[in-house]
Chains A and B, each alone.
Chain A
Amino acid sequence: DTAVSQTPKYLVTQMGNDKSIKCEQNLGHDTMYWYKQDSKKFLKIMFSYNNKELIINETVPNRFSPKSPDKAHLNLHINSLELGDSAVYFCASSQWDGDTEAFFGQGTRLTVV
């Protein structure tokens, strides 16, 4: 009964490929996020969705396209993968109104070769 789960946990792919990372939360939260952790362990928010609507898009290339089919899911699709996309991607969720903390998934380690 993991709160925020991401699949896959590891992803190795070649440059130019298109890949997706899935995220699901069973906490009943209405807001979900994608964060990127680079090789220097620096964490930065990429996207935020509230009730399936895009709220934040932090200067992320157009090759990254989040999709939220419902409140419990936020998938990240990446086109034309580049070497610089190699990172750990974390999904998170929280409740928009309220005092609840953000819960993070275990991360997806993406390696582009």
Chain B
Amino acid sequence: AQRVTQPEKLLSVFKGAPVELKCNYSYSGSPELFWYVQYSRQRLQLLLRHISRESIKGFTADLNKGETSFHLKKPFAQEEDSAMYYCALSRNYGGSQGNLIFGKGTKLSVKP
């Protein structure tokens, strides 16, 4: 079964602390994985995807096929990072990257 699991519903850290939001997936094919972020009362935005292997706003995520994980990391959290983070898997029918299976989301709260 295709599934995305985010085990933490809420993650609370202090400013300047390292952050790791966990994501595990189950997918029979070759997965395309994404992290989306939703700031308070705003639209969902793409944060990063594994194929681009880039760092956005200091966040990075590495696809580990052996552990079927795509954890999101940032060495030093900032208050403006407080948001809801969703890990997502593209089922990629015909190449479309909008057919997404989302995890249940992790709310990151960064305290001053």
Name A's B-contacting residues (CB within 8 A).
4, 31-33, 40-45, 48, 50, 55-56, 90, 92-102, 104-107
Contact = CB atoms under 8 A, between A and B. Distances in A.
Nearest to A43: B102
Contact of B96 (A42, A94, A105, A107): A94
B99 A43 contact: no
Given A55-B99, A90-B43, A107-B43, 8 more contacts: A31-B98, A41-B84, A43-B86, A43-B105, A45-B99, A48-B99, A50-B96, A98-B95
Which of A33, A43, A98 lies at the interface centre, i.e. has the most chain B CB atoms within 10 A of its CB?
A: A43
B110 to A, nearest CB: 18
Interface of B: 34, 42-46, 49, 51, 84, 86, 93-102, 104-105, 107
Q: Choose among B84, B93, B100 the residue with the greatest number of A CB atoms under 10 Å from its CB.
A: B100
A70 B16 CA distance: 48
Nearest to A29: B98
Contacts of B95: 96-98
Contact of A92 (B86, B98, B104): B98
Nearest to B102: A43
A34 B8 CA distance: 26
B43 A106 contact: yes
A45 B44 contact: no
Contacts of B49: 101
Nearest to A31: B96
Contacts of B84: 41
Contacts of A100: 97
B99 A40 contact: no
A55 B93 contact: yes
Contacts of B101: 45
A41 B31 CA distance: 23
A97 B94 contact: yes
